[in-house]
Structure 1
Amino acid sequence: MRRGVAELPLHGGRAPKWLFELMVKLAREIVVLLVAELGRDEFLEKMGSPHWFQSLGCVLGFDWHSSGLTTTVTAAIKEALRGLEDELGIYVAGGKGKTSRKTPDELRLKCDRAGVDADKLIYMSRLIAKVDNTAIQDGYQLYHHVFIFTGEGEWTVIQQGMRPEEQLARRYHWISLELDNPVVEPHKGIWTTRIEPKVLNMVARESVPAQERVVELAREHPNKLVKEYLKMPEFHKITTEMINPNRLYQVMLTTYEKQPKNFETFLTTEGVGPKTLRALTLVAQLIYGTAPS
């Protein structure tokens, strides 16, 4: 995975209306020209590149070192393609905040128009959000999710998370054209102000053994897991202040009933979130010695 370090402070507010309108006009011409000259796949490649995307924001006239570049540029492209999506074969769904939660509905509507398998893209949209919010625990909470796809079913995803207490943001780029495994080194790149010293990265290649152990634990009945906890020395004990035992029990009961076949299906199980994954990762390390990245 490529990692980029750049200024990306978290800024509030929104772009002035006059600026956004100009950005939309310029973005429309750039996208139309790119698709005509280089094709749809190349457009996705460029949007999937953190460096190219950042440069595009500068060309469109937005603040070069602001978290707002991500949200404003993707919003400008989405607006620029309004009425041109079917002609160009490029579609945009999602956005910032509440709009991001409408992504599945937008994808279904636009996939029907494009003749693309909506269920497949909706699944990938949810999986990608789960990876960057749960499998990677870096302290940044996702608040922006944009899914760009073509009539051929290829796609790129641009997500952004924030750390409001420190006024920082972090952007995550994905692209289907270079994706081998969505839960092993899946990113095209991550754009961030700093490298965090303590991160749980369960999609790092080094975490694959830990993934396998977590899935094994997820298939066990919760009662057995409780007994495993009780066998641990006192200094390994997990207290109720650290986790909600009733909530964890219910989630583990769900994974036991579902019997996930791999880490991807475990991660997409309803109810599995950051705390569940942290708890199982810790147990896997204590019992089996499989340390995550």
Structure 2
Amino acid sequence: MRTGFSQLPLHSGRAPRWLFERMTRLAREIICHLVSEYGAEGALRRLADPFWFQAFGCVLGFDWHSSGVTTTTCGAVKEGIKGLEHELGFYVAGGKGRVSRKTPEEIQQTCEKTGYDAEKLVNASRLSAKVDSSALQDGYQIYHHAFFFSKAGRWCVVQQGMNEASGMARRYHWLGDEQTDFVNEPHAAVCCDHRGKALNFVARESKISRERVTQLAAQPDREVEHVMLRRQELLMPKRHWVRSEDINPKYLHKILLKTYEQAPADFASLLAIRGVGPKTLRALALTAELIYGTKTSVRDPARFSFAHGGKDGTPFPVDRENYDKTIEILHAALHKAKVDRSEKLDALKRLGRFNK
């Protein structure tokens, strides 16, 4: 399920090479420790927690609250565990911009080696992205999509959208498996400073709307077009997500021709149809309301930076010597101690208590 999302200010710039190299090494040690003690699924649960993820990014030394913490932290993890994926049973696909579009290909390449069904994971990746870009229309365009998964088929998504008008970014977290429900309240927790109105197809109260929109999408386009043309007066509700062109009969004809040919069995199937995006869903939602009287929810589901410092000097400049020492301690604790696994972890816990 989606576990939450965070809203962060958009910042320009990137992590300097000297910092990102350290972030990569420290991320590798932390992920190795998490998998060693909690398993790959335990690491997924933590990455899917927006609060834990934020603290993780801060410990790695990136800005404590900027949008870049998402892309840089995910990139550091992906780069850090490169070559250790099969040993850990923990994998990463996707990333920012053009890299995100390679997610299905990267998942398939990994599954060829693990033997897991790639189609299920690719579908989870695509649907989670489609929900946050189309089924939940909150004004943020997805530009980053990172897909973390285990060889057992559990997965988590950390993806981020931007709103250039407000200068803010919003991060969405998912945690799922083969039983995940993508279309009915998929989030279990939400972390966000800003709340607004959204066209929310995945809200619980949108259940009937999802059914009607799916039913409408499976109808012959001419039948719906005739209904719309017979209306002599069209009263537009005052909603920021509705535009007159969204219910133009000619536009509806193009939409319904595509959806009728594929006849979706449910809302998730409709969402998965290539080309069905925010505008298509807005048009279908308004048409379904006019024909069936069903409304779609407009409820917005939105409801440790002192470890090593931050790249912009907040709360203080990155202490390189201390950063390197942390990496050295973690690496030695996991790889060099001549004790068995349980003693090794106990020693690390004692070290953590000592440093408090």
TM range (shorter): over 0.9
> Any stretches of 5+ residues in structure 1 without a counterpart?
none
Does residue 1:276 correspond to 2:262, yes or no? no
Indicate how the Cα distance of structure 1 residues 15 and 273 shifts in structure 2: closer, same or farther if over 3 A, else same.
same
Residue 241 of structure 1 and its aligned partner are, at CA, apart by 3.9
Residue 287 of structure 1 and its aligned partner are, at CA, apart by 1.9
Residue 201 of structure 1 and its aligned partner are, at CA, apart by 0.5
The 5 A counterparts of 1:246-285 are 246-285=250-289
Distance in structure 1 (CA, Å) of the matches to 2:19 and 2:251: 47
The 5 A counterparts of 1:15-54 are 15-54=15-54
Corresponding residue of 1:174: 174
Indicate how the Cα distance of structure 1 residues 4 and 161 shifts in structure 2: closer, same or farther if over 3 A, else same.
closer
Contact 1:130-1:268 at 8 Å conserved across structures: yes
Instruction: Look up the SS of the partner of 2:9 in the other structure.
Output: coil
Corresponding residue of 2:227: 228
Distance in structure 1 (CA, Å) of the matches to 2:262 and 2:89: 38
What is the alpha-carbon root mean square deviation over aligned residues?
2.0
Contact 2:225-2:249 at 8 Å conserved across structures: no
1:7-28 CA deviation, whole Å, 9 max, x = no partner? x101122111111111111111
Q: Tell me whether 229-238 or 154-163 shows the greater mean CA deviation.
A: 229-238
Does residue 1:286 correspond to 2:290, yes or no? yes
Corresponding residue of 1:98: 98
Q: Which amino acid aligns with 1:118?
A: A
Distance in structure 2 (CA, Å) of the matches to 1:60 and 1:239: 44
Corresponding residue of 1:84: 84
Indicate how the Cα distance of structure 1 residues 11 and 179 shifts in structure 2: closer, same or farther if over 3 A, else same.
farther
Q: Tell me whether 279-288 or 25-34 shows the greater mean CA deviation.
A: 279-288
Distance in structure 2 (CA, Å) of the matches to 1:72 and 1:119: 28
Instruction: Look up the SS of the partner of 2:93 in the other structure.
Output: strand
Corresponding residue of 2:215: 216
Residue 51 of structure 1 and its aligned partner are, at CA, apart by 0.7
Distance in structure 1 (CA, Å) of the matches to 2:111 and 2:248: 39
Indicate how the Cα distance of structure 1 residues 160 and 244 shifts in structure 2: closer, same or farther if over 3 A, else same.
farther
Contact 2:159-2:173 at 8 Å conserved across structures: yes
Q: Rg bigger for which structure?
A: 2
Instruction: Look up the SS of the partner of 1:13 in the other structure.
Output: coil
Q: Which amino acid aligns with 1:95?
A: G
1:224-281 CA deviation, whole Å, 9 max, x = no partner? 1111112334133798644675554233112112111100001111221111110111
Contact 2:6-2:191 at 8 Å conserved across structures: yes
1:198-226 CA deviation, whole Å, 9 max, x = no partner? 20000011111100000111111111111
Contact 1:251-1:271 at 8 Å conserved across structures: no
Corresponding residue of 1:203: 202
Q: Which amino acid aligns with 1:261?
A: A
Residue 162 of structure 1 and its aligned partner are, at CA, apart by 0.2
Distance in structure 2 (CA, Å) of the matches to 1:230 and 1:247: 13
Contact 2:220-2:257 at 8 Å conserved across structures: yes
RCO (CA 8 Å, sep 6+): is it higher in 1 or 2?
Answer: 2
Q: Tell me whether 115-124 or 135-144 shows the greater mean CA deviation.
A: 115-124
Aligned pairs, how many? 291
Corresponding residue of 1:156: 156
Contact 1:172-1:191 at 8 Å conserved across structures: no
Q: Which amino acid aligns with 2:287?
A: V
